[in-house]
Amino acid sequence: MSLKTKISDDMKAAMRAKDAPRLSAIRLLLSAMKQKEVDERVELSDADVVAIIDKMLKQRRESITQFEKGGRQDLAETEKFEVGVLQEYMPQALSDAEIEAEIGAAMQSTGAKAIADMGKVMAVLKPRLAGKADMAKVSALIKAKLAG
């Protein structure tokens, strides 16, 4: 079953269960998916859907930070719930050891030795780790390895 089909099925289940908050979060995701399909005139693959979810998760995390700074705990809680729903559709996250191993392999295959080679390493890792690791964290780890 494709990820897109699973999300549609989950929306129908949320409707039947009258779970309004969950239904709202799933509809936001389906809306973002439909928007991309219409804009680019393509049928989304699972990788495309994961990229959309990843982007939405990043937006939600930034919103949570802003809402907590502004003292709007009610809005932060709504965003946290949406993060939980969106997280269910993401692939299993890689462990720190697995990320380190991927970075090591990418550095070896590209022959990266200095910070200037960071782009080459990121180019190799991005398709492999998309949705499975926080790319900001991966970037920091690469930078530390190349600097040291």
- At 89-132, the pLDDT tens digits run 887 777 778 888 888 888 888 877 877 778 888 888 887 777 77
CATH 3.20.20.10 fits 96-147, yes or no: no
Q: Which of 139, 52, 69 is nearest to 99 (CA)?
A: 139
Does the pTM surpass 0.75? The reply is no
**Which ranges in the chain are annotated with CATH 1.10.1510.10?**
3-87
3-state secondary structure of 26: helix
CATH 1.10.1510.10 fits 3-87, yes or no: yes
Angle between helices 3-16 and 46-69 (to 10 degrees): 50
**Which ranges in the chain are annotated with CATH 1.10.10.410?**
96-147
Q: Which residues of 116-131 are buried (b: 16+ CB within 10 A; e: fewer)?
A: eebeebbebbeeebeb
SS3 content of the chain, % helix, strand, coil (to 5): 80, 0, 20
